[in-house]
Structure 1
């Protein structure tokens, strides 16, 4: 790499075996916060205010639709019975996390079809789909206490940021998440013990960015843990959105694992925001706009190391969060509209000679609404699997599926006569369009 900015860190010469030279220069990032401090220009302050407003709008929209909600680690719960009496935010959160994992994996070249990800037996289909599923589970582990807000092993400081309990292992959840992401890998669940190079595919270690030597990683991660959570947190006065930006940069620069740093580092963004009390973070997928601007993402991270441009990175990060909030609000509104349209369509099926839609209070109407609830959480199904999950007979679910196909809500997507899959085309299409990074 080029000679780094002293503001970002220093190069340290370390001995190495097996390469064309006996020593390499590894990059050691300077402790956070940046020195000199971030320059809060009028433009940066305006952008921060704007993104905070967009996140607040998303939070308010969710509040209005669900009648209040609270966040605890991976779960989102309604706190009142408003909005059609359905707790759809937990389903929305689960879909968002799947979407985040899919986009984050795609940033690393692991691309899985969205419809395949939604299939109930997705992990059995392809390795790329299974890899996304592992990232979802790894994220669940990462967001468990003591990392999460209001967790039983954590406590909140006056600024709302979670603090570490004395004696806790700050990276235990991160290491568990890494082990989940790479089951069976000899290096899973531990910081790397080898020198690595980061660069375009096919580049040599001599030409790539070389993160800190493995001997330096534990101390750097310990320092990052103090920055992230301790009561003497030097980032405390900074806005939580800026803290998340700086911590993500530092994690990616330390590159503590042999593989999986990008995916886990982006999951850390959500952990940091949630632990800082940014509830809207439960509903966003920042990796979607990152995927759309992948080149800019890596360029902004590199500019910090080479030029000390923390301000440019923070502004890029804020733009990503703003886009994530806008997109989540668009999908959240869209899911309610798709639900209303589907409800009207399926109730019109079997209306009889009167032409009146079925009543929601009738036995048939209640069954259809319950099936719609099920489809919101499982928009791609197989009849046998759905029958087992619902505790209904195969003929009963077959009749429901046929009615929903007639209504134009479900569509068979395999073209096969056996092991057919049916997708809620409106809902799947809405999420799939969102995957494009609007």
Structure 2
């Protein structure tokens, strides 16, 4: 549905050239969204898929295992959209030890993403509100090291940015002038917490994501933080007990359409086309996450059954296996530290788990060897670049 532009342009001067910066109107849209029977069904299916995702953790013996893995998978995917080449395995290697051979700058960005996301979850769990202050805290961690660390981490931008093109004058899109950012983000924060607005939490998250990306409040990291915001709104409002919905893979798969729809909202006011795309992504992503969780449960059960058939060794092997489920890349020393086993006992357990097809060695070295829970990592690697 076309309503006309959802904001206005302001002419500003950047580096000696005149550009038109877009300033979005506050949410919610002045003309209410249209909910056809088809769109209501799509909203219902997406909501049901979120319900299944929220309950899937009940299947898991330890939900934190899934959260640990899924947060890192999202960090890899979201960072890949921004051009990094790190894989899920690269990140796990980096966290285990800053291993040679991983793309250091890239994996550092992904590690920063994990830190930012974990910080946000911890703050919300402690009762801190979903707010601009929290977003700035997360941004400070997102850009704390590596590329982007010179671009005002934790601060709203004080200069003009742009998307596409080599300069503002030939950019695809120019966000609001910097002096408008604080007020616009204040409006967005009020919308997120406004209980009088007429839309469900899922629709609110869809609207808020577009608004955040349109404001583009930081000099760098807006895409990554804007994608986190979706999951955090759903988590903050109790739709998801754990922030497990991450749309980065869906947005990456349909990147041209994603950008086209953001532009259609700004220039034509077509919120409905964006909402349809968003809800389809939510349904698909939530269903995929449920399928992944079920496959991991099945994998754990099958491997536990193999271990239980090992007789007297089963107790020690299972103790090691529980650690490996939480840390699917491991060294003998790390296993000793986490289980309290002696080095010979841990090494023997790793050898047996290798014989059972649970682990394989990935470095080819004779010393400081790293072992991988191969099938587990393969499942989480699906959809990433490597």
Question: Could you state the TM-score of these two structures normalised by the residue count of structure 1?
Answer: 0.81
What is the aligned partner in structure 1 of residue 250 from structure 2? 289
Counterpart Cα distance in 2 of 1:223 and 1:211: 16
SS at match of 2:78: helix
Give the 3-state SS of the residue equivalent to 2:9 in structure 1: strand
CA displacement at 1:390 relative to structure 2 = 2.6
**Selected match of 2:30 from 35, 55, 66:** 35
Secondary structure, in 3 states, of the residue corresponding to 2:278? Answer: helix
Q: What SS class does the counterpart of residue 272 from structure 1 fall into?
A: helix
CA positional deviation for 1:112: 0.9
Structure with greater proportional helix content: 2
Q: Name the counterpart of 1:13.
A: 11
For 1:189, the equivalent position in structure 2 comes to 154
Q: Paired residue for 1:152?
A: 127
User: Is structure 2 residue 188 aligned with structure 1 residue 213?
Assistant: no
Query: Do the aligned partners of 1:11 and 1:28 also contact (CA within 8 Å) in 2?
Result: yes
Q: Is 2:378 aligned against 1:429?
A: yes
Q: How does 1:111-130 map to 2 (within 5 A)?
A: 111-119=85-93, 120-121=95-96, 125=102, 126-130=104-108
- 2:46 match: 51
Quote the Cα distance in structure 2 between the aligned partners of 1:328 and 1:434.
12
SS at 1:143 equivalent: helix
Q: How far did residue 391 of structure 1 move?
A: 2.6
**Cα drift, residue 386 of structure 1:** 2.2
Are 2:297 and 1:329 aligned?
no
Query: Structure 2 vs 1, CA of residues 419 and 137 (structure 1 numbering), >3 Å: closer, same or farther?
Result: same
Q: CA deviation at 1:290?
A: 1.8
Does the CA-based 8 Å contact 1:122-1:130 persist in structure 2? no
| Kept after mapping to 2: 8 A contact 1:7/1:34 | no
For 1:236-275, list aligned pairs within 5 A: 237-275=198-236
The structural deviation recorded for 1:280 is: 6.0
Deviation, 1:281, is: 5.6
Q: How does 1:93-108 map to 2 (within 5 A)?
A: 93-108=67-82
For the pair 1:62 / 2:37, whether they are aligned, the reply is no
Name the SS for the 1:399 alignment partner: helix
1:354 corresponds to which residue?
A: none
**Aligned counterparts of 2:128 and 2:78: Cα–Cα separation in 1:** 28
Deviations 1:191-223 (A, max 9, x none): 111111111xx5332121110000110110111
123 and 8 in structure 1: CA distance in 2 versus 1, 3 angstrom threshold = farther
Q: Which moved more, 1:411-420 or 1:253-262?
A: 411-420
Cα displacement (A) at 1:122: 5.4
Inter-partner Cα distance in structure 1 for 2:50 and 2:97: 32
Moved more, 288-297 or 252-261: 288-297
User: In structure 2, the residue corresponding to 1:206 is in which secondary structure?
Assistant: helix
Contact 1:96 1:284 in 2 (8 A): no
In structure 2, how many angstroms separate the alpha carbons of the residues matched to 1:377 and 1:36? 48
The answer to whether the 8 A contact 1:97-1:136 is kept is yes
Residue 225 of structure 1: aligned partner: 189
CA contact (8 A) 1:248 1:269 kept: yes
Please give the per-residue CA displacement for 1:64-86, whole angstroms capped at 9, x wherever unaligned: x15xxxxxxxxxxxxxxxxxxx3
Cα drift, residue 233 of structure 1 = 4.5
1:171 to partner: Cα distance? 1.5
Structure 1 stretches (4+) deviating beyond 6 angstroms?
Answer: none
The answer (yes or no) to whether the contact 2:21–2:177 under 8 Å persists in 1 is yes
Name the residue aligned to 1:81.
none
Are residue 366 (structure 1) and residue 329 (structure 2) matched? no
1:204 lines up with 2:153 in the alignment: no
Separation in 2, partners of 1:389, 1:60 = 29
Shift of residue 264 of structure 1?
0.6
CA distance in 2, matches of 1:59, 1:258: 34
Aligned-partner SS, 1:342: helix
Length-normalised TM-score, structure 2: 0.91
Aligned to 2:274: 313
Check whether the contact 2:151–2:219 (CA below 8 A) recurs between aligned residues.
no
Match of 2:350 among 389, 401, 404: 401
Residues 158-173 of structure 1: pairs in structure 2 closer than 5 A: 170-173=131-134
Matched positions, count: 376
Distance 1:429 1:418 in 2: 25
| Aligned equivalents of 2:244, 2:297: Cα separation in 1 | 15
1:175 matched to 2:136? The reply is: yes
Contact persistence 1:32–1:234 (CA under 8 A): no
Per the alignment, residue 410 of structure 1 pairs with: 359
RMSD: 2.2
- 1:134 is matched with which residue? 112
